[in-house]
Structure 1
Amino acid sequence: MNVLDTLRGGLVVSCQPLPDEPADPMRDASVQARVAAAAVLGGAAGIRANAPEDIAAVRAAVDVPVIGLWKDGPGPVVITPTGRHARAVAQAGAHLVAIDATDRSRPEPFAAVVAAAHAAGVLVLADVSTEAEGQAAADAGADAVATTLSGYTSHTPKTPGPDLGLLERLVTRLSVPVIAEGRYRTADDLRRAYAAGAHAVVVGNAITSPLYLTRELARSVPAHTDANGVHP
């Protein structure tokens, strides 16, 4: 049984600080390892983590499959953009390496990064934004495909919730497992993803980011009230 079999039908929790907030106090490998351990205690079947230091710390703290990636570079492709990044993620202990498989300009061909990951002894999860990208990634040797980047490229609008349509199309078209990721936040989101044929579902900020959760709730809190508790 490989790690993809272990993840089948499970919840993967993404343990990462917010990428757009350098001051996030969660930006610490030991903190992310504890968050990951708590997620596994709660029932997570796998963990997704970013950067070698965090991956190594998480791998030491949990006994479930770890999907590793390394966000680096000027972009537009920053998720494990080169073979060097893929090898470092594998060496840090990841069981799968997540790689941006969109058709945007990139420093190395996707197939070359896949080959580097496979040579390092790990499986590849291709993060895509469209059906065509998913097919191309599978054809290039990806072991699984995820909807992670739907809404984050010029090809797809960013919807408030997950892109279940893309998930359904990929499941129908591809022979490799399809993992649902990207704005999955509620139990209903997960139920709909599994019903659409998702191999597993990844949830991130809605579980692991106090900063994200607080910001979302704070939007509904009035700036202040008067002495009688009445909104001005």
Structure 2
Amino acid sequence: MENAILSKIRGGLIVSCQALENEPLHSSYIMQRMAVAAMRGGAVGIRANTVEDILKIREEVNLPLIGIIKRKYKDSDVMITPTMSEIDELMEVKPDILAMDGTDRIRPGGEILEDFFGKVREKYPEQLFMADCSTLTEGVRAAKMGFDIIGTTLRGYTSYTKDAVLPDIDLMRSMVKNTGKPVIAEGGIWTPEQLGRVIRTGVWAAVIGTAITRPKDITEKFVKVLTT
């Protein structure tokens, strides 16, 4: 029987509503209004960063929510839900889906993903977990580890994929074919036409963030046309 949360997001658009401390729209209230706008526009889900934003968004939005905490540690490049501390914080508010870095990179404290996720799954056996990956190998490995959902989120954001052209349609198609798990496509989707191509790969759903919820980046994209 298909999971109820997965059923609700199937074939739809998830909007990422995030703003880090150094960004102009950093505010739980502003992220809530972004999420409300996305909901009214037809989004099937929201991706949000921090417990504070999740709680504020939930006051007005009843869509399935993918929760993360971005936090930097000096000894690792992993930033998306990197340690058990962030997992525990998120589980206090129980996001419908909890996402974490699913790449080959070493986590804080020298921990590898297999060991870390084993502990997480044992502690929270009923939670839906999503692996944010950057390569097919990572996606297949995460699926075998027991992640419920595989994401292409970190394509282009690891040192070994920084030259990838986004959105990476071939990767999305390969993830669908080879992981045996629902794949959520994310990364570099800027136009409705691109979104159509992405969905036709067979992915479960797609996430768009910057192109919808980051006006500074959107403005820069337009301004660049005028200065080149």
TM-score (norm 2): 0.90
Runs of 4+ in 1 over 4 A off after TM superposition: none
Structure 1 residue 8 displacement after superposition: 0.5
- The 2-side partners of 1:114 and 1:100 are apart by 14
Q: 2:113 aligns with which of 110, 116, 121?
A: 110
Give the percent of matched residue pairs that are identical in Structure 1 and Structure 2.
39
- On the 8 A contact 1:98/1:127 being kept in 2, the answer is yes
Across the aligned residues of Structure 1 and Structure 2, the Cα RMSD in angstroms comes to 1.9
- The 1-side partners of 2:106 and 2:226 are apart by 41
Per the alignment, residue 39 of structure 2 pairs with 40
Deviations 1:117-161 (A, max 9, x none): 674442111000111100111111100000011111122243453
Per the alignment, residue 15 of structure 1 pairs with 17
Higher mean displacement: 156-165 or 192-201: 156-165
Change (3 A) 1:132 1:122: same
Structure 1 residue 198 displacement after superposition: 0.9
- The 1-side partners of 2:47 and 2:6 are apart by 13
Per the alignment, residue 150 of structure 1 pairs with 155
Q: 2:187 aligns with which of 182, 191, 204?
A: 182
- Correspondences of 1:155-166 after superposition (within 5 Å): 155-166=160-171
- The 1-side partners of 2:218 and 2:186 are apart by 18
- The 2-side partners of 1:174 and 1:185 are apart by 25
Q: 1:207 aligns with which of 176, 200, 212?
A: 212
- The 2-side partners of 1:195 and 1:28 are apart by 35
Amino acid at match of 1:29: S
Who wins on radius of gyration, i.e. which is larger?
Answer: 1
Per the alignment, residue 57 of structure 1 pairs with 56
Per the alignment, residue 141 of structure 1 pairs with 146
Deviations 1:171-229 (A, max 9, x none): 11011101100111111111111111110000001001111111111223359xxxxxx
Change (3 A) 1:3 1:117: farther
Structure 1 residue 114 displacement after superposition: 6.0
- The 2-side partners of 1:118 and 1:39 are apart by 34
Amino acid at match of 2:150: V
Amino acid at match of 1:7: I
- Correspondences of 1:86-125 after superposition (within 5 Å): 86-107=87-108, 108-111=111-114, 112-113=116-117, 115-116=119-120, 119-120=123-124, 121-125=126-130
- On the 8 A contact 1:53/1:92 being kept in 2, the answer is no
TM-score (norm 1): 0.88
What SS does the aligned partner of 2:147 have?
coil
- Number of residue pairs matched by the alignment: 220
- The 2-side partners of 1:102 and 1:131 are apart by 10
What SS does the aligned partner of 2:59 have?
helix
- On the 8 A contact 1:117/1:123 being kept in 2, the answer is no
- Structure 1, unpaired ranges of 5+: 224-232
- On the 8 A contact 2:140/2:179 being kept in 1, the answer is yes
- The 1-side partners of 2:32 and 2:122 are apart by 26
Change (3 A) 1:114 1:210: farther
Higher mean displacement: 37-46 or 209-218: 209-218
